Amino acid sequence: MKQVQVRMPEKLVKEIDKWVAEGRFKSRSDAIKTIVALYEERERTREFYKMLVERSKEAKEKPEILVPLEEIS
């Protein structure tokens, strides 16, 4: 694992410290790693959604390319 230094507004650091004090996270580091992981997951979900929208458009334009679910399982 690589160590990085991060500069943040004091208000945000106080909020993170509050979460640590409340027991939501073990440490500042744990909080920041979790927040970044959640952001990454959100971005993956956003990309998946965009792919679904694109596939939906394709299906409406060319319904003959659809595969019935019964054929998949």
- Asked, for residue 70, whether it belongs to a domain, the answer is no
More confident residue, 70 or 51: 51
Condensed to tens digits (0 to 9), the pLDDT of residues 2-61 reads 999 999 999 999 999 999 999 999 999 999 999 999 999 999 999 999 999 988 888 888
- Asked, for residue 58, whether it belongs to a domain, the answer is yes
- Asked, for residue 73, whether it belongs to a domain, the answer is no
- Asked, for residue 29, whether it belongs to a domain, the answer is yes
Q: Per the structure, how many domains does the chain have?
A: 1
Query: Over the chain, what HEC string results?
Result: CCCCCCCCCHHHHHHHHHHHHCCCCCCHHHHHHHHHHHHHHHHHHHHHHHHHHHHHHHHHHCHHHCCCHHHHC
